[in-house]
Amino acid sequence: MADLAVDGGHDTIVAAVDWGGTWIRVAAVSGGTIVRRDRRAKPQSLAEQYATVADMVLRTTAHLAQPPAAVGVGLAGVVQEGIVGTALNLGFTDGTDVAAALRPHLPLPTYLLNDAQATALGVAARWPHGTTAVLTMGTGIGGAVVRDGSLDPGLGGAGDFGHVVIDVNGPRCPCGGTGCLEKLVSGRVLAEAATALAEAGSSPLLAARARSGHALHAGDLQDAARDGDSRAAEVLSRSAVALSAGMRTIVATHDPHRIVLAGATLAPDTWFGRAVRTHWDLTRPRWARTELHHVAEDEDAALLGAASFALHKFTADH
Q: Identify whether 7 is part of a domain.
A: no
pLDDT given at position 3? 37
Q: Are residues 138 and 65 in the same domain?
A: no
Domain contains 238: yes
pTM: 0.87
**Contact (Cβ atoms closer than 8 angstroms) between residue 98 and residue 74:** no
Q: Is residue 8 part of a domain?
A: no
Q: What is the pLDDT of residues 210-247, one digit of tens each?
A: 999 999 999 999 999 999 999 999 999 999 999 999 99
* Shared domain check, 113 and 59: yes
In-domain check, residue 1: no
Distance between CA 249 and CA 171 in Å, rounded? 19
Q: Can you point out the beta strands (E) in 53-195?
A: 70-75, 78-80, 83-86, 96-97, 110-114, 131-137, 141-147, 150-151
Q: Are residues 32 and 69 in the same domain?
A: yes
Res 10: pLDDT: 58
pLDDT score for 138: 85
One domain, residues 179 and 238: yes
Print burial letters for 112-145: b (CB count within 10 Å at least 16), e (below 16).
bbbbbbbbbbbbbbebeeebbbbbbbbebbbbbb
Residue 167 and residue 221 share a domain: yes
Report the sign of the C-alpha dihedral through residues 257, 261, 267, 272, in that order.
negative
- Same domain? For 266 and 148 the reply is yes
174 shares its domain with 305: no
- CATH number of the domain residue 306 falls in: 3.30.420.40
Q: Look at residue 41 and tell me if it is in a domain.
A: yes
Say whether both 152 and 117 belong to one domain.
no
Could you read off the pLDDT of 140-158 as tens digits, one per residue? 898 999 999 999 988 888 8
108 in a domain, yes or no? yes
For the chain, residues with pLDDT lower than 70 are 1-10, 88
Does one domain contain both 80 and 190? no
- pLDDT of 70 reads 97
6 domain residue, yes or no: no
Q: Is 317 helix (H, G, I), strand (E, B) or coil?
A: helix
The predicted structure's pLDDT at residue 2: 38
Give the range of the structural domain holding residue 139, as residue numbers without chain letter.
Answer: 128-295
Domain presence at residue 91: yes
Nearest to 238 by CA among 170, 185, 180, 196: 185
* Domain identity same for 140 and 267: yes
Bridge partners of residue 96, in order along the sequence: 84
Instruction: Return the amino acid letter for 129.
Output: H
Helix axes 218-226, 230-254, angle to 10 degrees: 120
On whether the CB atoms of residues 256 and 250 are closer than 8 A, the answer is yes
Q: Are residues 134 and 116 in the same domain?
A: no
Q: How many domains are contained in the chain?
A: 2
- Same domain membership, residue 312 and residue 235: no
